[in-house]
Amino acid sequence: MTKIIIIGGVAGGATFASQLRRLDPDCDITIFEKDRDVTFANCGLPYYLGNIIDDRSELLHFTPEQFKENKGVTAKVFHEVIQVDPNNQTVTVKNLKTDEVFTEDYDYLVMSPGCRANQLPLNSDMAFTLRNLEDTDDIESYISNNNVKKAPIIGAGYISLEVLENLYNRGIQTTLIHRSEQINKLMDQDMNKVIFDEMDKRQIDYRLNEEVDSVDGHTVHFKSGNTEDFDIIIEGIGIKPNTEFLEGAGIEEDDAGYIPVNEYFQTNYRNVYAIGDIVSNYYRHVNIPTHVPLAWGAHRGASIVAEHITQTRNVPFKGFLASNAVKFFDYTLTSVGVSPSDLKHFDYTMVETEQMNHAGYYPGAEPLHLRVYFENKSRKILRAAAAGKSGADKRIDILSMAMQNDMTVDELTEFESAYAPPFSSPKDIINMIGYKAQNK
C-alpha cells in the first residue's frame, strides 16, 4: 500500500488529501498539522471578526474525526514535523501535547506547512496576529472580554485592510499604522488613493511613515515620539515561510526560505512535493520567478500533485498570473500579472481609461478605472489593475483569461461582452483599452 505523508493541512494539504482519496481509494494518507485545526476557511477570518459571518461553524470545514470518517484520512493535529530525511524517506514528528517524538516513513511526502505572520517584539498581551482560526478565537475572546474600543492596525497589506474595515464596522475605532507610504503593494500606488478616500470619508485615522517602538500596558509608544492608549493591537506586517524544519534535509530553498518546484510541484527530490504558500514558481506569461501566497495556487497545486502521484493525469502547472483582489469598504482593488516592481524588466507601454461600469443612463452606474501594461514588441499584456465600486473584479478576470491565452492588447477590441444596460456598455471598458492601445 502506498503511504503518503502530508505536512500541514488547510488549503494545500487538506485539499490534496481529499483529491488524492478521490483518485486512490486504497492509499494510506496521514496529515501532520502542528496547530489545532486541520482545515478552515482562512480567507473568511476577518469577516468573522467583523460579524459579517456570524456562524463560526461555517469557517470550520472538517475536524480530524470527520476527515477520518468521510475521507479515510488520518489527520493528527498538534503534531509538528521537526525533521525530514528524504534519503531514507522518513519524517520525525513531535506530539506537542505529550512531547513524544517518533519517526514515520513514506513513499511520497507532500509539504504544505504554510507561512507564519511576522511579529513585532512588543511583549504585550494585547498584541495579536491573524493567521488561523486559533488566532481568530483569541482575538474574538479578547475583544469580548476587554471592552475593546480602540485598535491600531499595524501594516497595510490585505489582512490589515480587511481587519481594519471589519473592526470599524463592528464599532471599534481603528487607526492604520504603516512604516512607509507604500500601501497595498501589489496595486499601483496612485490607484490606492481610494483607500485613503474611504478612510477620510469615515474619519479613520491613518499614519504613514510611522512605527511602533514599544508598548507599556495599554500605552503604545511610536518611533515619532508620540504616545497613545489603545485596547488591542493587530499586526499585519508580512509573512515568512515555515521551512526551518528542513534544515540539513538537502531540499532546495531560495534565499528567502521558499521552495522552488517544477511544473508538477516536485522539489529536487522527486517523491517530495511542496504546495501552498511555501512555494516559489514562475509567472505564466513571462519568465520571472514569483511567490504568490494566495488560495488559488494552493488548491491548483493540490489537484496537480494528486493527479501526478496517482498518474491519472499529467497536466503541468504553467505558472501564476497572480490574480488578486481586496475589498475595502465600498471599493474593490484588483490586479493581475507582474507586480509594479517587476515592470522594470520590460520595455512597455501603459494605457488606461475610466468609464462607468455599465450604461451611464441605467441607475447605479459607478466610475471604473482600468489600467493595462503591455510589452511594446510583442504587444502581450504584462499587467492590469482596476479599482471601482463595481465591476473591477469582473474586468480583471477577463484580462486574466486573455493573458492565459497569450492575447495581445489589440485583440481586446474583439472582446464580446454579455451586454445589457445593467451590466456593461456596447463598447466595454475592456474594448476601450484595446482601442486606446491601438493608437500607441
Instruction: Please give the annotated binding residues for NADP(+), written as ranges.
Output: 151-166
Query: Does residue 373 contact residue 350 with C-beta atoms inside 8 Å?
Result: yes
Residue whose C-alpha is closest to residue 150's, from 228, 73, 217: 228
Q: Which residues are annotated as a binding site?
A: 8-33, 42, 71, 151-166, 267-277, 299, 419, 427
Beta strands in 230-300 (DSSP E): 233-235, 239-241, 259-260, 272-274, 279-282, 289-290
Beta strands in 113-257, from DSSP E residues, in sequence order: 115-117, 127-129, 150-154, 173-177, 205-207, 212-216, 219-222, 227-229, 233-235, 239-241
Q: Percentage helix, strand, coil, to 5, in the chain?
A: 30, 30, 40
Write out the binding residues for substrate: 15, 19, 22, 42, 71, 299, 427
Judged by DSSP in three states, 133 sits in helix
Q: Is the dihedral of CA 81, 85, 91, 93 positive or negative?
A: negative
And the C-alpha cell for 413?
A: 477590441
Catalytic residue among 43, 122, 343, 350: 43
CB count in 10 Å sphere of residue 51:
12
Cα gap 200→80, rounded to integer Å: 45
> What residue type is assigned to position 422 of the chain?
P
CB 136 within 8 A of CB 130: yes
- Helices 429-438 and 392-404 pack at an angle, to 10 degrees, of 50
Residues 6+ apart with CB under 8 A from 216: none
In angstroms, the CA 129 to CA 118 distance is 8
311: left (phi over 0), alpha (psi -120 to 50) or beta: left
Q: Is 43 a catalytic residue?
A: yes
Element (H, E) at 382: strand 381-388
The owner of cell 494539504 is 13
Q: Which residues are annotated as a binding site for FAD?
A: 8-33, 267-277, 419
Q: Which residues are identified as catalytic? A: 43
